[in-house]
Each structure stands twice: as structure tokens, then as C-alpha cells.
């Protein structure tokens, strides 16, 4: 799933204005008439056995092979290549506007960056571990291509602010992708609710039968939770969207750069105000992974519920073969493995957050090399959450609710007991007294092995003379559902209103039951 590691921004269809971004400044490209070098990366890269480091001016000895292997990050941070090139384009254009490099230098740099990006995307670029990371690989390759102009690109820039800029751009795009996947799962759940609009299922507390609920009401509970997940991510995005570029190593620079220009060119809201803060803090990553972890927990709970409901003991749902797996030894088995893995992968996402929290907890200001370890947990978290959202939507599209099995299971558990207590409250009985009366009524049913609705009026009156013949309008799960009327409750009209809201918000079509 390589594409997950190099996300591109996508629109979020169900939010008309998911965020407010600064206008993008167009970065100039070379005019066709300008002389250009032959930008062939494969031909230009000189594969020496031990290349001098770009930072190695004061060093007499090369690092050992063990140190080089231990400290390299190119094996994973090459995922940032697109964003690194974006930042370099903006930086080169700013340097030219400020007179720190010439327009010709800028055009050489931009042309070289275009060539390198093309080589990477075609799989022709040679990533070198002796060049340590994505930044040094691209800069060294650019120097091989265009020579002296490339050496000017790092003017008023450090790898410290460069990597923070790349990472914020990557996280910003990842948020957009995750929110889009959340939307897809919401659509799948709402469509599933529409297909089963009048189906009543047992509602549980403490894993014990509690009250009857409409299935759409239960499914929409997950839709609501996912909406908060999306809003958390978009709120996090607003704090991601500030630009560290130009903060340099930690103290800024004495050169006349324009940080507002580069910030605008990259679509950031503004440059970060404090250069030390810009390069040293990873709270934007912690917040991002925290939001991912909450989403993962919601998906894990959905997975747990559907795994239980697919069991022989429940039998409430049947997943199609296309989203099930079998057993290597038991030929009869049909397992809901995708949702078990959703449940399992939530542990990874939570673990990624804990890794980052522990990584950051003891770091002094400003930048420390420990922060190289922030990339892999974030990449892992995004890859996992994207997969979890995708497969959950796929599963929702490929399950069937076993309506007859569910209806046969409804009578057990006296699910209408609370509704019966409400009936007595409407008759003027204090709730605590009503609770006691209904409790004794249930006890009577248990001794007779019958339902509340099976009790005769005389039997009910033997428990409380308040009962009258209108009590039967409150007994049974269907009548119980009809008596729920508070805002947000499981009553038919309330749930219908909830469905109308989500159909409109997600821009779906709704065919009401009974319509032609």
C-alpha cells in the first residue's frame, strides 16, 4: 500500500468547507527558451563507495558502517519525497525573489527538482543510504544534476526546519485522506440502516439484554462517533497547518528571507511565530495520533460487535463469502476475520501514540536526533487506520441481517420492562415505586416462564391495582419502540429524523419503506 505513505490532498465531499487555507502562491517555472541542462538522474549520480557528507567540512574521518546503518532514515523517510520537493520549490522561489539567488539559479533548481520527482515516481531514482535521509538524497542528486546552483538551495534553511515542514505537509494530506475514508464508512453504515429501517434488535448494557432498539438507531450511533472522529482530525489539521520553514536549526537566520511567502506558497495558514518551537515540538503529531487512536477504538468496538453478532450464539448477521475466511483444519468454519483484524490493529494505532508520547516526554529544546524516530509510528498509524476504515466499509457493504433469527430472539429478556415502568409513571406513580412494581412483575413472569405481555390484567392488578387495560399499549417490543419519543431516542419517528439528517448531510438518496 505504497500510496498510503505518499498521500495527496483530497476534497472531503460532505463538508463544504473542511478547513480554511491560505491562497496558494504560484511558483514560477522556467521559460521554454531558457537553456537547460540534461536532467538525467541515472546518468548524473556518481556511485562512489563512500561519498563525502554534505555536512562533513569539519570532519577528518568518515562515520563507521555501523553508525551509518544505525543513523540512516532513508529506508522510511523517502515517503516524504513529494513534500520535500514542494518545500524546496517554494524555498528556491523565495530566495530568488529576495535576491539571495539569481532567477537563473532558481530555474536550474526547479528544473532539477522536476526531473528528480519524475525519476522517483517512475521508480528510477537511486536512494543511497550513505546520503542518510530523503533531504540529503534529493539535495545531493540535485547537485549532481545542476551543479553550483543546487548548493545555494540550502541557504537560510536547516534539515531541522526542512523535515518539520515536510512532515506537517505529509500529515496535512493524510488527515484529508483519513477524513475521506471516514466519510465512506459513514455512507456504508447509513445505507445499511436504510436497508433495515424497521428492524428491531435487542439493546445491551453490561452485555445483558436491556431495551429494544431499532437497528438504524444502533448503526447511526457509530456514524455519530465517526463524525466526531472526522471533526477531531480537521480541528487537529488547523494546528498542523503552520509553517516551520525558515526557522533553520533553531534560531532563525540573519539573511533577508520572507517566511510569509513560503508559507503562502505551501498553503499554510502562517509561518510559526517562534523558531525554537517550530523545530522542537511534535505536539501536532501527538494530536494526530491521538485522534487516530480514538477513531481506532470506535472501529474496534464496531468490529467486536459484528464478530459477536456473526457467531452461532447470536446469529444476527451473516457476512458474505467475499469478506470472510475459512479454517485450515475445520472445513465448516466461516470467520469474520476482517473485523477481528480491525479490532486487533487498533492496538497498533494506540501503540504508535504511546511510542510518540514516550519519545517526546524527556527532550530538551530544541531539535534532538531522537525525533528521527517520529516518522515510522506515524506512517504505521496512518496506514493502519486507512486500512481499518476501508475494510470496515467493505464489510458493511457485504453483510446481511438475519431478520427472522433476530425477531425470534426478541421475546427473551423482558425488554419492555422500562416502558412498563414509564406507563406507571404516567399514571402518577413515583418512578422508584414503579421500578419496584415492574421488578415484581418480571419476577412473576420468570416464575411462570412467560413474557410481560402474556400476563392477564387480573395478574397484573394482583401486583398493582394501577394497571388498566391500556397497559397492553406499552407491552411487547414493537409497542415499546413506539413509546420512545424523547429527542435522540430509538422511537420510530426519532430514528427516521436521524436518518433524514444523515441522508441529507452525506448527500444520499432515500427511498422510504412502502414507497413505489
Q: How many CB atoms neighbour CB 502 within 10 A?
A: 23
Question: Among residues 33, 206, 509, 515, which one is catalytic?
Answer: 206
All 3 cell numbers of residue 515? 414507497
Clarify whether 206 is annotated catalytic: yes
| Neighbouring residues of 372: CB distance < 8 A, sequence distance ≥ 6 | 71, 73, 77
- Given a contact cutoff of 8 angstroms between Cβ atoms, the answer to whether 3 and 170 are in contact is no
Helix, strand or coil, per DSSP, at residue 205: strand
Question: Among residues 311, 327, 365, 485, which one is catalytic?
Answer: 327
What is the greatest pairwise CA distance in the chain? 102
Name the one residue in this structure whose C-alpha cell is 509510528.
377
Pairing of the two strands 200-205 and 242-243: unpaired
Residue 168: which H helix or E strand, with range?
helix 159-195
Q: Give the C-alpha separation, 58 to 313, whole Å.
A: 71
Clarify whether 327 is annotated catalytic: yes
Q: How many CB atoms neighbour CB 430 within 10 A?
A: 10
Taking Cα atoms as reference points, which of 415, 501, 40 lies closest to residue 201? 415
Per residue, the 3-state secondary structure of 173-187, as one string, reads HHHHHHHHHHHHHHH
The dihedral region occupied by 50, where left means phi > 0, alpha psi between -120 and 50, and beta the remainder, is beta
All 3 cell numbers of residue 339? 473485523
Looking at the annotation, which residues are catalytic?
Answer: 206, 327
Amino acid at each position: 500500500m505504497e500510496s498510503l505513505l505518499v498521500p495527496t490532498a483530497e476534497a472531503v465531499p460532505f463538508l463544504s468547507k473542511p478547513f480554511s487555507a491560505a491562497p496558494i502562491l504560484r511558483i514560477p517555472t522556467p521559460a521554454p527558451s531558457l537553456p537547460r541542462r540534461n536532467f538525467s538522474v541515472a546518468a548524473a549520480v556518481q556511485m562512489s563507495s563512500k561519498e563525502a557528507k554534505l555536512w562533513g567540512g569539519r570532519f577528518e574521518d568518515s562515520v563507521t558502517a555501523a553508525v551509518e546503518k544505525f543513523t540512516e532514515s532513508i529506508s522510511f523517510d523517502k515517503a516524504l519525497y513529494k513534500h520535500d520537493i514542494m518545500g524546496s520549490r517554494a524555498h528556491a522561489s523565495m530566495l530568488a525573489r529576495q535576491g539571495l539567488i539569481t532567477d537563473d539559479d532558481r530555474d536550474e533548481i526547479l528544473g532539477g527538482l522536476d526531473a528528480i520527482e519524475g525519476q522517483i515516481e517512475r521508480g528510477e531514482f537511486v536512494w543511497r543510504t550513505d546520503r542518510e535521509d530523503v533531504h540529503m538524497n534529493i539535495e545531493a542528486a540535485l547537485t549532481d544534476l545542476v551543479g553550483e546552483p543546487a548548493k545555494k538551495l540550502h541557504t537560510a534553511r536547516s534539515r531541522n526546519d526542512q523535515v518539520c515542514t515536510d512532515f506537517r505537509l505529509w500529515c496535512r494530506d493524510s488527515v484529508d485522506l483519513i477524513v475521506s475514508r471516514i466519510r465512506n464508512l459513514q455512507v456504508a453504515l447509513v445505507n445499511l440502516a436504510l436497508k433495515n429501517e424497521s428492524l428491531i434488535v435487542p439493546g445491551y448494557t453490561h452485555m445483558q439484554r436491556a431495551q429494544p432498539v431499532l437497528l438504524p438507531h444502533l448503526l447511526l450511533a457509530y456514524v455519530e462517533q465517526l463524525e466526531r472522529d472526522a471533526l477531531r482530525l480537521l480541528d487537529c489539521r488547523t494546528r498542523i497547518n503552520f509553517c516551520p520553514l525558515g526557522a533553520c536549526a533553531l534560531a532563525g537566520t540573519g539573511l533577508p528571507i520572507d517566511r510569509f511567502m513560503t508559507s503562502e506558497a505551501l498553503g499554510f495558514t502562517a509561518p510559526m511565530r517562534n523558531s525554537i518551537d517550530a523545530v522542537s515540538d511534535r505536539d501536532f503529531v501527538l494530536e494526530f495520533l491521538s485522534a487516530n487512536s480514538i477513531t481506532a477504538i470506535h472501529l474496534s468496538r464496531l468490529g467486536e460487535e459484528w464478530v459477536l453478532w456473526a457467531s452461532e450464539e447470536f446469529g444476527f448477521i451473516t457476512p458474505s463469502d467475499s469478506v470472510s475466511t475459512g479454517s485450515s483444519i475445520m472445513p465448516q468454519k466461516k470467520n469474520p476475520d476482517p473485523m477481528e483484524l480491525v479490532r486487533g490493529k487498533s492496538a497498533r494505532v494506540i501503540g504508535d501514540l504511546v511510542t510518540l508520547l514516550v519519545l517526546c516526554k524527556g527532550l530538551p529544546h530544541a531539535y534532538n536526533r531522537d525525533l528521527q524516530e517520529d516518522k515510522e509510528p506515524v506512517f504505521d498509524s496512518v496506514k493502519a487506520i486507512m486500512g481499518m476504515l476501508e475494510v470496515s466499509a467493505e464489510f458493511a457493504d457485504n453483510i446481511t441481517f438475519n431478520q427472522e433469527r433476530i425477531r425470534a430472539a426478541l421475546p427473551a429478556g423482558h425488554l419492555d420492562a422500562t416502558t412498563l415502568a414509564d406507563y406507571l409513571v404516567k399514571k402518577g406513580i413515583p418512578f422508584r415505586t414503579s421500578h419496584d412494581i415492574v421488578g415484581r412483575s418480571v419476577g412473576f413472569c420468570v416464575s411462570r416462564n412467560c413474557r410481560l405481555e402474556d400476563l392477564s390484567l387480573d395478574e397484573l392488578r394482583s401486583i398493582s391495582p394501577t394497571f388498566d387495560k391500556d397497559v397492553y399499549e406499552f407491552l411487547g417490543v414493537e409497542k415499546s419502540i413506539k413509546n420512545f419519543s424523547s429527542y435522540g431516542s430509538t422511537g420510530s419517528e426519532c430514528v427516521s429524523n436521524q436518518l433524514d439528517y444523515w441522508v441529507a448531510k452525506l448527500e444520499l438518496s432515500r427511498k422510504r419503506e412502502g414507497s413505489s
